[in-house]
Structure 1
């Protein structure tokens, strides 16, 4: 194809059109879906891709979904039913050893034919509430990938426009929430079909040559901007390490995560050598569909943040090209088939957290302190009076670490995720559950600093029927780190008790599978609080007072850590505060 440069105005118009297409695809998907994990939490992603599986554009959804779709496409290339694409085909794919991010994230891919020629793909992924795994909705303690439920590799849900009723029937009879599952898949099909329609309209308007020349220029532009930003980072080898609580079975076995970042001119290598071996449970990370994507997301956050740079950079393949990821085969970040790999999110979030920590000495104005860097992903399930299952998936918020210019945001999904909270009103209307408590934590203090860490959430969900709970979370032991003099944050915890007799509170590990529950049982999740950024003694005394008034900080904490003295009316005693801060400053310097 002739690579005639597209004029800047047309280039920007096409760029805006592509972004709008991706956003519209995402909107269609979550507005048409039935399960709350897609409809409310928006655990999804959508975009367009060229015939070389490069990302053309992507919705502003969960980063882990979009960056993974090229890996799905490469896996589909290996497994495609019949080996050929036809107009009217719709492929469903979720195999973690053929590019899927993990098995509950089903991708729907539709080829885009223009004037009889295959020119690209429209696709999306979304997390589904149940695909027939060993435990309802979510799995952790299983022995291999086959226990994760239905594995679909390159299967045609539609072939040349005709629906595969046998495949649809198989899906219906292999899920505890089959009606929601099939309807959510249909929403994905509608979203991808819209992408096909809109992209063809774009080609009609500008011509195939101009449109694809613009796509190539936009991808090259994103790559060039990222490479420029990488060149601003001093060459070197930067390392950080932490550990994960356990694998969901072996409770006393902490799992190391080691991240080595090498900056060489305008290239980045992320090496995970030294991290834990693969686990005997589902607590492993698919390399192509999740591990690599986490690295991409980390550097897009660090180096392409529009708020900091002021230059919007198109979200496309160019932001992946300069980044290489290494993870030894047989490690937790690159398991060997048939190891299970469904519970893979917290490892990715900690990987990003450690990339930030490793680069903190050379990017002090761009990094943040330690975030919760986890996820609380809970599956609640039970049997209705009519004998059918009910299944509810919930993502609970965490907290960011303190930042160079502001406090860490409170009670928000962080780092790798971008899901939204599920309204408790929706929960009460559709499921036999009651939310007893949903608020900021008040049992611990966030990391103190010139800019304090974010405050984690506490959420207590009460089940009204017998059933079971499976929960994936992290950071019950490894505290979010403070930076540049900031204090560490606070670890998380999970409790289960019965609403009628709250004296018997059971402390739960961060991950557990299929825990049986009775009517009235409550799971209370307390997410980690972020670390502080900068010296706490540099925090304005008036801000500390405001935190005390808001119950974000106790009087004792204000005095002991921030050196702020408040009288009985909670007014600042400035003379006593200056004296106290001088004492603390001397202690710190000794």
Structure 2
């Protein structure tokens, strides 16, 4: 083997790896039972080397992609690759073993050639329900992990003979939607099996070059990321933001970051962030690593999509803090924390003058888990993710109604919502006027109005920016705050906080308005908010 042969194989192998993980992702979504994965895309796929290094990841959900790195490390600590067999499968979701929050189940399948593990095919999917004190397993008032659902350390879920019946029985006994859980796990297994077949075929085609080429691709990603850092100025920059309380207490939860860049390396330090809190907004280190991986990928986006970009990074997450909590912290609502952590890294880096100046995104991915009963007693359940607004930049306005930074989820079509539940979506629109004003306006949030048609339901609501706002940049204005309220059939109105549980009765309307992104640059007064019928309470709320 010569260096020329190695170099000649790098691009074909990179494309083959990327194609394999993207097909894993697409296949998993097609096969998923739950709409949160099938329609919303709340799942991710990746390929790893036997030593736990990420070698390729799907173009899917960054919130889950980065967290697969510590999850795989947790599996390998308990089950070393040398002892794995063909056809085995491993399962976990424990945040203290490399997981994120309990609905995110991670499946790992080894890929073997001549009895030796050459790679690992991995998927993660947000499952509809894994138990806990509230339907959907995202209780906004949880105060410890034990209230959030079934916690799984890394375990062997499948042997060469098939699934472990005992493990499957425990999983289904702890879920309010066992059929969905069973079907969604089957979708994950199908995806890792597809990845194993494609990777096995690729290894046969490349022969002895497979492992060296994978090593070279990881080294290439590191080199390109270090080159991008060397081209940026040295310095130290900070950024602070805050969550609107933790779901239990109204005290703001601080997110503080310091970036220190020297030469071709960068330190990211979250010292100064709040200590861990009682409510479920604590984020495991795996979750925060997802934000860091996203940030590092922005430095050299043309680099191979693997772990090499993390080599120049030193990440400090203070133990016992909201970004590295101790057991038994509640963590199910960590999305807002991770989004603001990602926003903070991007905001701090924007001060370095290393690229295009960008205002902060809204920092919101509203998540609702709804469980109800129809008039005939039939139960239903669904989970929805609602997007917000992107920050404007020196190049132009921010995009409206999009998932930003570590979010890449899709909206659930109205037709799907109305098919799966007795709901009527009376409004689905861009929330005009919610983006920050400026020379370039921030992206607007989203407005949804739902009416429950029959029976009753319970809503677990996880939002953010109900109090705070995404600040503007270079003189631009802040985006609007989020809001949520239940309009009762009797005319009364109940306002929801950033994290809430509320009962829903037939005839009531739920109104969700997500935050806007920050504006960029000074300009005339911001646009006024638009209301189609100000007399309708569904159209009343503060946009500024």
| TM interval, short-chain normalised | over 0.9
Distance in 1, Cα, partners of 2:199 & 2:82: 24
Larger mean CA deviation between 109-118 and 138-147 belongs to: 138-147
SS in 2 for 1:261: strand
Distance, in Å, in 1 between the alignment partners of 2:273 and 2:356 is 26
Query: Shift of the alpha carbon at 1:419?
Result: 0.4
The alignment partner of 1:149 has SS state of coil
Deviations 1:13-32 (A, max 9, x none): 11111110010100110000
Equivalences for 1:353-432 in 2 at 5 Å? Answer: 353-363=343-353, 365-384=355-374, 387=377, 389-432=379-422
Per the alignment, residue 450 of structure 1 pairs with 439
Q: Which residue of 2 aligns with 1:151?
A: 151
- Please tell me whether Structure 1 or Structure 2 has the larger radius of gyration of its CA atoms: 1
Counterpart in 1 of 2:451? 462
Tell me which residue corresponds to 1:572.
none
Post-superposition offset of 1:387: 4.8
Shift of 1:461: 2.0
- 1:296 match: secondary structure: helix
Structure 2: how far apart are the matches of 1:509 and 1:417? Answer: 22
- Aligned-residue Cα RMSD (Å) equals 2.1
In structure 1, what is the Cα distance between the partners aligned to 2:354 and 2:396? Answer: 14
Quote how far apart the aligned CAs of 1:221 are. 0.7
Contact 2:276/2:325 (<8 A) preserved: yes
* In structure 2, distance between residues paired with 1:110 and 1:299: 27
DSSP 3-state at the match of 1:215: helix
What are the within-5 Å matches in structure 2 for residues 13-24 of structure 1?
A: 13-24=12-23
> Which secondary structure does the structure 2 equivalent of 1:369 belong to?
coil
Structure 2 counterpart SS, 1:536:
coil
Which one of the candidate residues 240, 263, 274 is aligned to 1:276? Answer: 274
2-side partners of 1:517 and 1:82: how far apart? 49
Correspondent of 1:304 among 282, 300, 303: 300
Maintained 8 Å contact 1:139/1:470: yes
The aligned counterpart of 2:539 is none
1:74 aligns with 2:70: no
Report the Cα distance in structure 2 between the residues aligned to 1:337 and 1:551, rounded to whole angstroms: 46
Q: Take 1:111 and 1:95, find their aligned partners in 2: how far apart are those partners?
A: 20
- Structure-2 residue corresponding to 1:245: 244
Moved more, 378-387 or 89-98: 378-387
Matched ranges for 1:4-403 at <5 A: 4=3, 6-80=5-79, 84-137=83-136, 138-207=138-207, 209-251=208-250, 253-287=251-285, 289-301=286-298, 303-305=299-301, 312-363=302-353, 365-384=355-374, 387=377, 389-403=379-393
Q: Which runs of 5+ in 2 are unaligned?
A: 532-544
Q: Which residue of 2 aligns with 1:530?
A: 517
SS at match of 2:492: strand
Q: In the TM superposition, what is the alpha-carbon distance from 1:171 to its structure 2 partner?
A: 1.7
Gaps in structure 1 of 5+ consecutive residues: 306-311, 553-590
- Summarize deviations over 1:318-365 as a string: whole Å, max 9, x none: 112211211111100000012121211101111111122222222364
Distance 1:95 1:434 in 2: 36
Offset of 1:431 from its aligned partner? 1.4
Q: 1:109 to 1:214 in 2, by over 3 A?
A: same
**CA deviation vs aligned residue, 1:156-199 (integer Å, no higher than 9, x gap):** 22112322112112222211111011100000000000000000
Report the CA distance shift for 1:402/1:264 in structure 2 as closer, same or farther (over 3 A).
Answer: same
Encode CA deviations 1:499-554: one digit per residue, 9 max, x unaligned: x34x42222101113x22212222211111111112225x9xxxx9xx89x969xx
Give the whole-Å Cα distance in 2 for the aligned partners of 1:103 and 1:81. 24
| Contact 1:296 1:323 (C-alpha < 8 Å) held by counterparts | no
Tell me how far apart the structure 2 counterparts of residues 270 and 367 of structure 1 sit (CA, whole Å): 20
Structure 1 distance, partners of 2:279, 2:500, is 11
Matched, 1:476 2:476: no
Q: Which moved more, 1:389-398 or 1:519-528?
A: 519-528
Secondary structure class of the residue paired with 1:189: helix
Aligned residues: 529
String of CA shifts for 1:48-67, please: whole Å, max 9, x gaps. 10011111111100012121
TM-score (norm 1): 0.86
Q: Secondary structure of the residue that 2:107 maps to in structure 1?
A: strand
TM-score normalized by the length of structure 2:
0.93
> Structure 1 residue aligned with 2:428, among 408, 433, 438?
438
